[in-house]
């Protein structure tokens, strides 16, 4: 969805109009992009990715059938195993797709998405699903309804997500797009470069820092989305940077090193006034227990642990293992 923001704003500036299509409910298909969505202009041009385009023609027809005054249409689509194979989908499935004229989507939604801000869209559908009212919810907003609370929960996972809530007032679609994780890598070298490349594959941002003041500045500027991977073993760099990250409440703090280095850091942080409870949030030794040996495997294990922590998953990390650090 975030990558559609510039197109939606351009179409609005040109007065082109158009429609936004995204799933309300789905079953099957295998792994898929939770942020998948498609923009459709009045001429039938599609921009974006939803089920590898297998339903694009059908969605264009449904959009063209919206009557004047309708601000929403929910259509059912399905794909069998053979068609899924041709489209290179993992498997077939079915979905309910919400089509909405762009004029009924708040302009602020596209502006905030383009800025990279963590934001959610709450869309309330009428009983007949031919009317939709959308409102923007920011991560900093105080929730006042169940849908706003759900938006806050989804934003807190740091990963794009959708949820459909059913209640007495009808269907409410909650779509959350947190800021992309911002990986701050303390120390360079081959492993730092590989972590940055792995982060890029996940659509994350990454930066390598080598000085405590530089690291603290970057962490403070992006504290809502930052993840710290401390690779340096220099006590003049690792301890003050870890302390700053813990004080800022960074969502993920990890530190590479042997168990002896980890113990040394803990002593240094305790001496610097960090509470024992805060120390327990540090992932050190860093990474999931994947048996990683090579730098590339280690980078994967580190980014995988970040993904698990940000998603609220209880995955087994190296710090929870009594075995050797190398697989």
On whether the pTM is more than 0.95, the answer is no
Percent of the chain residues topping a pLDDT of 70: 96
Pick 34 or 204 by higher pLDDT.
204
C-alpha triplet 265, 269, 271: angle, nearest 5°: 115
259 has pLDDT over 60:
yes
Every domain of the chain and the residues it spans? 2-177, 182-320
Provide CB contacts within 8 A for 180, sequence distance 6+: 116, 203, 204, 205, 225
Give, in words, the CATH class of 182-320: alpha beta
∠ at Cα 2 (33, 21), nearest 5°?
Answer: 65
Tens digits of residue pLDDT in 91-120: 989 999 999 999 999 999 999 999 888 899
Q: How confident is the model at residue 141 (pLDDT cuts 50, 70, 90)?
A: confident
Lowest mean pLDDT among 240-244, 282-286, 317-321: 317-321
Dist CA 164 CA 175 (whole Å): 9
Please report, rounded to a whole number, the percentage of residues in the chain having pLDDT higher than 90: 60
């Amino acid at each position: 969805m975030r990558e559609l923001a510039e197109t939606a704003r351009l179409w609005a500036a040109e007065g082109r109009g158009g429609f936004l299509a995204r799933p309300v409910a789905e079953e099957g298909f295998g792994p898929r992009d939770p942020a998948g969505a498609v923009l459709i202009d009045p001429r039938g041009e599609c921009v974006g990715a939803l089920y590898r385009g297998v339903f694009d023609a059908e969605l264009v027809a449904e959009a063209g059938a919206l009557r004047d005054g309708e601000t929403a249409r929910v259509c059912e689509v399905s794909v069998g195993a053979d068609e899924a194979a041709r489209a290179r989908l993992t498997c077939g499935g079915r979905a309910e797709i919400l089509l909405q004229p762009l004029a009924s989507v708040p302009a602020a939604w596209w502006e905030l998405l383009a800025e990279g801000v963590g934001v959610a869209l709450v869309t309330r559908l009428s009983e007949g699903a031919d009317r939709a009212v959308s409102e923007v919810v920011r991560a900093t907003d105080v929730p006042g309804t169940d849908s706003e609370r759900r938006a806050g929960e989804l934003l807190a996972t740091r990963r794009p997500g959708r949820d459909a809530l059913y209640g007495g007032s009808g269907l409410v679609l909650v779509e959350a797009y947190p800021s992309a994780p911002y990986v701050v890598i303390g120390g360079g070298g081959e492993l730092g470069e590989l972590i940055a490349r792995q982060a890029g594959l996940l659509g994350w941002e990454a930066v390598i820092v080598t000085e405590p003041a530089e690291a603290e500045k970057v962490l403070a500027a992006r504290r809502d989305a930052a993840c710290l991977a401390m690779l340096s073993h220099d006590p003049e760099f690792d301890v003050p940077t870890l302390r700053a990250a813990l004080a800022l409440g960074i969502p993920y703090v990890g530190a590479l090193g042997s168990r002896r280095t980890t113990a040394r850091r803990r002593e240094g942080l305790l001496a610097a006034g960090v509470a024992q409870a805060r120390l327990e949030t540090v992932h050190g030794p860093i990474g999931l227990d994947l048996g990683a040996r090579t730098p590339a495997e280690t980078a994967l294990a580190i980014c995988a642990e970040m993904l698990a922590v940000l998603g609220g998953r209880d995955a087994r990390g190296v710090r929870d293992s009594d075995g050797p650090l190398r697989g």
